[in-house]
Each structure stands twice: as C-alpha cells, then as structure tokens.
Amino acid sequence: MIEISNIRKAYADTIVVRDVSLQIPRRGITSIIGSNGAGKSTLLSMISRLTPMTAGTVTVDGLDVTKTPSDVLAKRLSILRQDYRIGSRLTVRDLVEFGRYPYSKGRLTAEDRSQADKAIGFLGLEALADRFLDELSGGQRQRAYVAMVLCQDTDYVLFDEPLNNLDMRHAVGMMKLLRQAADNLEKTIVLVLHDINFASCYSDYIVAMRDGVLIRHGSPDEIMTREAIREVYDMDVDIRDIDGRRIAVYYT
Amino acid sequence: MPVKHLLLAAITITVLALISLLIGGGDLSLAALLSPQEGQYAAQILLISRIPRTLALILAGTAMAVAGTIMQMLTRNRFVEPSTAGTVESASLGLLIVTLFAPEASVIVKMLVAAGFALAGTALFLRILRLVPLRSVLTVPLVGIMLGGIIGAVANFIAYRFDLLQSLNAWTTGDFSGVLRGRYELLWIAFALTLLAYLAADRLTLAGMGRDFATNLGLRYRSVVSFGLVIVAMVTATIVVTVGMLPFLGLVVPNVVSLLMGDNMRRSLPWIAMLGAGLVLVCDIVGRVVYYPYEIPIGTIMGIVGSALFLLLLLKGRERLA
C-alpha cells in the first residue's frame, strides 16, 4: 500500500500540492485526474521521491520514500515521467535492460536478460529491439520506456500521462496492457490521465485534484457524475451510460 | 560491434605507434638499432624520446576522448568537452597560481592544484547551467566558452604581469615534442582514471539519461556526477601539466563513436579510447612529417583536423546532436 499523509509542495509563494492524504491500495489501477496545474504530476513525483516534499510523508509498504535508500526503493516502485528527453543514443534493448539496473548494477544475468526479453515481447517491440531510440516514432519510444519500467519489475508502477504521443489505437492498446499488468502480473499502477473516459473505463479507483487539493476519490461510478466532474474541471459535462461504462461527452 | 573489429582497431593503433617510434630527427631504423656502432645511440633515442612520446600520445589521446565523453554525459549535451566548459582555462589558472606562489612544488602537487581549480571551474559551469534558461542545445557550450574566456582572461592578465605568457601558451597548446623520459609519466594517472571510468560505465550512462531517470533506477545521481567531474578535472589537469591541451579531441571522438554505435558506454568506451589514441597518433605523425625535420605542434594539426571533422558532424548529424 502507498500511504500518503499530509504532503505539501510549496515553491517561493505558491503552494502546488496542499496537504494531501491518501491511501492507494495494492493491486489494480488508480488514476489521478484534474485540470492542468492541479498538482497531479507533482504529487506523483513526490510519491516517487523525484521531487522533495515540503511537508508530510509517503510510505510504500511501510518504507518512507525520503529515507529509504534509493536502490532499495527502485526494486519496489518505478516511475515513468512524461517529459523524459533522453538525449543518449541507446537501442531499445539497451534501454529496457537498464530497467534491471537496481538488481544487476550493470552486470546482467541470464535472468535479467530473459526479463528484458519478456518486457520487449509484452510491448510488441521485438522487431525494434536493436533500433536506436532516436530513430523511433514518438509512440514507439513511449512503448520502449514502458517496457523499461515493466522490466524494472516493481510492485508499484507510476505513470505520468502514459498516453502522451499515442494515437487512438496505441492509446487503447496501452491501457489494455496496463490493465493486463495489473490483473495478471499483480502490479499496483498509478496513472495521471487527462482523458477521463480512459480513467472511467480502465481504473479501479479515481482520485480527483483541483488547485493542489484532493477533492474527491472513489470508484469510477462515484467520480463519473455530472456534479463531480463539474467540481473538478469547472465544466458542465454530459455523462452517459454506454454499454455499462460511464462516458463523458465533453467535445462540444 | 564484434570483438573482431576491436582487435582490428588495436592492430591499427599498434601500427601507428610503430610508425610514431620510427619518425623523428635522429636516425632510428631497425638496422641502426642492430648495428654495433650506432646501436647504443639508437637505443637511447628510443628509450628516452621515442617510446615516451608514443606512450604519451596514446595515454593522452585515450584520456582526453574519455573525459570529453563523460562531460557530454553529465551535461547531456554533445557540444561540451573540457575546452568548452571552462575546465581547461581553470586548470591553467590553477597551474599559473601554483607556479607563482610555489615554483618549487613537485609536478604532482602542481597537477593536484590544477585539478582543484579545474574541478571548481567545471562545478561553476554546471551551476550556471542550472540558473540559465537553456533555450537551445548551443546555449550550453556557449556559456562554457564564455566562462572559459573570462577565466582565461584572468589567467592571461596574471601571466602577462609576471612574464609567464610562454608557459601559459604551452599549457593551452598541445605539443609532444618536449616529451622525454621522466616528463610524461603523470599521464599514467590519466590513463588509470579512464580505466576507473570504464568500471563505472553503466553508472555514467545512466547519469547521462538525466537525474529523474537515474534516480528511478536507484542510482545515486549526485555522487555519480561528482565522480565524473573529479575524473574530468584530474584528466584535464594532468594533460595540461604534461603535454598541453588537445583541442576538439573530446568533442569529435565521442560524437563519431556515438553516431556509429550509440551511447551505451559499456560498449562505446573502448572505441572512444582507441579512436582518441589513433587520432592523436595520426595528428602527431602528420605534424612531424609535413615539415620534416621540423615539427608542427599537434595542437595546430588537431585544431585543423578536429574543427573540420566537427563541422562535418554538425552539418551531417544535426538532428541527432540535439
């Protein structure tokens, strides 16, 4: 379980995340939604110890993320941020194998290699495995990063906008894959999502933020209501039931 | 790339080294070495001058190319090397100051002082980078060149005042013609440092992917950056103290190797080392042959060859250099 208590992030004169407390249960997919600048990415970044918090604590299975040695935590929790700009020319296989770094420290064992192969296969990257990242399209690169994070094989996997750069088909493919990872590999996945319909269709649990505050959390059915969405986005949106799924029609 | 290619490269380096052993003012052929009259004289040339020079070329070339690679990994910018980051100028300034205040200090002490200055200068460079909004990849080396210009100006002023301009010039322009037995051995330290860098190749590659990426994988990013900086500073100082700066080497070699085989340093570092050694050997041999029996300093040749290669890289691989 990820236990967040009273965390706050303040810069000189603005508070980006304001005293958020939340428990993220093991297994399944939790999506964080909210408008731009609501503090979603900052929250994710603090949970994963990439951004130091101003106040509060985060524990992952009882380990305080700010006090646990980074290499111990790297076997429990991984994060994929959206703004990675890796300038290095690495092949997809190189990148994915680096996912084993917390275990191998660079000396790959046969086990590490087979994990990497599995991750590459899981994302359908076999044909691209020996290509350099800078020769791939944005979507292919995104899949390579996801393969790396899965290769890291942590119980908790955090994604900041994993659907960035992906077209319709690949976005759906990615969400299905994350669902599979949650169901079959028993991962706990936390996502920052912009498309609330993806959040509605694939999450077990939705957390809504606004102006740095956690304003609602609950099952997709509880969050996908006209009132809740108005509260989160300041927008009146029609929510329809389509084949048992709640879909927000917000395009017009 | 397979081991076979690496072996081939090693053989090429050996051949170049042999050529380097045989070229120079004094007569040194196999026949001379074996003849009873001239043999002793020839052997002396070989031991006192030619072998040290050739070793110095290989050691310095290897170390400088690797130092450039490390800089590029740490700044995540392909245009950075010790001479575009204020490192060389800082090392020279340190050397100048120790020469002024403690002229009798041993060469090791001088090197360490220069390394301390180089470290401080490069750390300052990284600090400035964090403060300046980086709109383009070219901003980074421009900042470095400006910082180097300022530090260099201070060094120049001091050198001018104390009549040390010639020494300063010797430090900033690579020249192997003065390399003799007893005057180059410090370069083994630089070589040892490159071996150390090879042991940490995975960590440096990871650091090259950025702080967040490295932290996610459990790397202690700050300590790896510090480790890399110390290696770069020590290597630069050693080279400045012994043979003088080799321009462009740390820029061209890593970029060429990166284009050919990527940035996984575990794989690319042996190639970077060999190409560095090879390029320095070639440039020095050319400098010795072109105007025989006189010599053109390697710094000059390197400047011409290096800048041409660099321009080529800029024009050819533009999108990749970003």
Digit-coded pLDDT (tens) for A28-38: 999 999 999 89
Q: How far apart are CA B229 and CA B125, in angstroms?
A: 11
Same-domain check for residues A29 and A67? yes
Q: What percent of chain A has pLDDT over 90?
A: 73
Q: Which of A99, A130, A153 is the last residue of a domain?
A: A153
**Helix residue spans in A25-166 (DSSP H):** 40-47, 70-73, 92-98, 101-104, 110-122, 138-151
Per-residue pLDDT of chain B in tens (322 residues, 90 and over written 9) = 567 888 999 999 999 999 988 887 666 676 777 777 777 778 888 888 889 999 999 999 999 999 999 999 998 888 899 988 999 999 999 999 999 999 888 888 999 999 999 999 999 999 998 888 877 878 888 899 999 999 999 999 999 999 888 888 888 888 888 888 888 889 999 999 999 999 999 999 999 998 899 999 999 999 999 999 999 999 999 999 998 888 889 999 999 999 888 999 999 999 999 999 999 999 999 998 888 778 888 888 988 888 888 888 778 755 554 4
- Chain B: give the shortest CA distance to residue A138, in Å: 15
Alpha-carbon separation of residue B200 from A93, B92, B265 (angstroms): 20, 28, 9
CB B261 within 8 A of CB B267: yes
Report d(CA B86, CA B128) in Å as an integer: 12
Across the interface, do A74 and B202 touch by the CB < 8 Å criterion? no
Clarify whether residues A175 and A188 are in a common domain.
yes
- Mean pLDDT of the A226-246 span: 90
The Cα of A88 is separated from the nearest Cα of chain B by a number of Å equal to 6
CATH topology of domain B3-321: ABC transporter involved in vitamin B12 uptake, BtuC (1.10.3470)
pLDDT of residue A83: 64
Domain co-membership, A89 together with A188: no
Mutate to test the interface with B, among A72, A83, A101, A135 (most CBs of B within 10 A): A101
User: Does residue A251 sit in the same domain as residue A128?
Assistant: no
Residue A198 above 80 pLDDT? yes
| Mean predicted lDDT score pLDDT of chain A | 91
CB spacing of B262 vs A48 below 8 angstroms = no
Q: Does A145 lie in the same domain as A69?
A: no
CA A185 to chain centre: 16
Computed from CA positions of residues B213, B219, B222, B227, in that sequence, does the dihedral angle turn out positive or negative?
A: negative
Among A83, A88, A113, A89, residue whose Cα is nearest residue A99: A113
Q: How far apart, in whole angstroms, are the C-alpha atoms of residue B315 and residue B211?
A: 30
pLDDT(A84) > 80: no
CB-CB contact of A84 with A145 (8 Å)? yes
Tell me the three state secondary structure of residue A65: coil
Q: Among residues 243-282 of chain B, which lie with CB inside 8 Å of chain A?
A: 258-259, 262-264, 266
Amino acid identity, residue B165? Answer: L
Residues A99 and A38 in one domain: no
Q: Please answer whether residues B261 and A132 qualify as being in contact, where contact means their C-beta atoms are separated by less than 8 angstroms.
A: no
Select the residue of A71, A86, A94 nearest B213 (Cβ to Cβ). Answer: A86
- Alpha-carbon span B217 to B221, nearest angstrom: 10
The predicted structure's pLDDT at residue B321: 45
- What residues of chain A have any CB closer than 8 angstroms to a CB in chain B? 48-50, 69-75, 78-81, 84-91, 94, 98-99, 101-102, 105-106, 132, 134, 152
**pLDDT tens readout for residues A50-71:** 999 999 999 999 999 999 999 9
Q: Are residues A100 and A161 in the same domain?
A: no
Is A84 or A204 the better-scoring residue by pLDDT? A204
pLDDT of residue B229: 93
State how beta strands A156-160 and A188-192 pair. parallel
Q: What is the pLDDT of residue B40?
A: 79
Radius of gyration of chain B from Cα atoms? 20
How far is A137 from A139, CA to CA, in rounded Å? 5
What's the number of domains chain A is made of? 2
Radius of gyration of chain A, Cα coordinates, nearest whole angstrom: 18
Separation of alpha carbons B237 and A192, rounded Å:
48
CA of B134 vs chain A CAs: smallest distance (Å): 14
Q: Are residues A170 and A223 in the same domain?
A: yes
- Inter-chain contact A89–B263, Cβ cutoff 8 Å? yes
Same domain membership, residue A178 and residue A126? no
Tell me: the pLDDT tens digits for A104-155?
Answer: 888 888 999 999 999 999 888 999 999 999 888 888 888 899 999 999 999 9
**In the listed set A138, A153, A168, which residue is the last one of a domain according to the structure?**
A153
Q: Is B208 exposed, middle or buried (0-12, 13-18, 19+ CB in 10 A)?
A: buried
B213 interfacial to chain A (CB closer than 8 Å): yes
Q: Specify the pLDDT at position B322.
A: 43
Cα separation of A20 and A209, whole Å? 9
At B299 the pLDDT is: 84
**Residues of B with Cβ-Cβ distance to A49 under 8 angstroms:** 215
Point out which residues pair with A8 in neighbouring strands.
Answer: A55
Q: Are A223 and A206 contacting, i.e. CB atoms less than 8 angstroms apart? A: yes
Q: How far is the C-alpha of B113 from the C-alpha of B118, rounded, in Å?
A: 9
Per-residue pLDDT, B94? 94
Query: Residue ranges of the domains in chain B?
Result: 3-321
CATH of the domain at A2: 3.40.50.300
Q: Which of A144, A167, A232, A158 is nearest to A191 (CA)?
A: A158
The predicted pLDDT at position B44 comes to: 82
CB contact under 8 A, B213 and A99: no
Is this complex's ipTM strictly greater than 0.90?
A: no
Look at the block and give the residue holding tokens 């791939």: A136
Residue A56 three-state SS: strand
- The predicted pLDDT at position B224 comes to 94
Inter-chain CB proximity A89 and B76 less than 8 Å: no
Among A128, A153, A178, which residue terminates a domain? A153
Q: Which domain holds residue A251?
A: 1-76+155-252
Are B56 and B243 within 8 A, CB to CB?
yes
| B219 close to B274: Cβ distance less than 8 angstroms | no
